Amino acid sequence: MQNTLKSAISFTGVGLHSGKPVRMTIRPASADYGIWFHRTDIADGDAMIPAIWSAVTPSRLCTVVENAAGASVSTIEHVMAALAGSAIHNALIEIDGPEVPILDGSAEPFVAAFIARGFVAQRSDVRAIKVLKTVEVREGEAVARLEPSDMLEIDFRIDFAEGAIGVQSRRLNMSNGAFVRELSDSRTFCRQSDVDLMRQKGLALGGTLDNAVVFDGDRVLSPGGLRHADEPVRHKMLDALGDLALAGGPLLGRYTGIRAGHAMTNQLLRALFADPTAFRLVACGDRVGEKLPGVGVHRGDLPSHRRAVAAA
């Protein structure tokens, strides 16, 4: 069955790239509504923006959706991952600015708030998108691929010159609470050289060592170090789930990313939906539904909760 939140919940913070303060409220929505953004700061014109692959506009550093009137919301990947990883299928996201708040740079603050607020089951089946044949896009050494599978799997590999990152790979079956347990607390990351370059271009103005992991050669500059030894590749998997959530329904397929980013994952979705023989919609009964991300998540799945219990 589809799910929504029991009641509205608000978040405040700053945008990672704009540095501007923002308030965002996620409200319950009816069955089959999907996920929509509403720019409450736009008084005239269309302020409703669908969270769907076809509304994504080109951006290298984050995921941006835009409507036909030019209203947009950026850096949506973490909240989209949190919604998908918590099995929330319907929500209205009201936001009073152009960028989602970065919070701690991960998806866990969203997930923790969702679990605390609670979920409502709705009387409508989840319709998943089942991948029927391999679809792939390439750009130099970067690859993004979808292959048939009975569940969503994410397989990611990164390769950075920085000694503190290096080559990392991880593969995960995303069923049930796997996203919450294994990926949700992994933070966005960058190299110090990237920070310097982005700020010269007026970007990353809201970035701090408290909401991003910053690497400089063999050093991790962020206080407290890493939450996981392979936190960077885990965060890339988090981003991939958020971008795949723009498919319009849960995916049943194996996603492989090799040095892939937001733009490539969107290109992959466009390639999938351009070929009607590459997918089909399936109604999820109990057997299929129990394999979807987020089914049955609870407070004990949160990494911060498990760390607190271990430390007690």
Catalytic residue ranges: 262
Helix/strand/coil percent split, the chain, to 5: 25, 30, 40
The amino acid sitting at 41 is: D
Q: Specify the pairing of strand 142-148 against strand 135-139.
A: antiparallel
Write phi, then psi, for 304 (nearest 5 degrees): -65, -35
Question: For residue 161, how many other CB atoms are within 10 A of its CB?
Answer: 8
- Residue 287's Cβ-count burial label (10 Å; 0-12, 13-18, 19+) is exposed
Cβ–Cβ < 8 Å for 288, 250: no
Q: Single out the residue of 292, 262, 281 nearest to residue 83, CA to CA.
A: 292
Q: Single out the residue of 146, 121, 80, 149 nearest to residue 286, CA to CA.
A: 121
Q: Single out the residue of 268, 246, 286, 302 nearest to residue 65, CA to CA.
A: 246
The amino acid sitting at 159 is: D
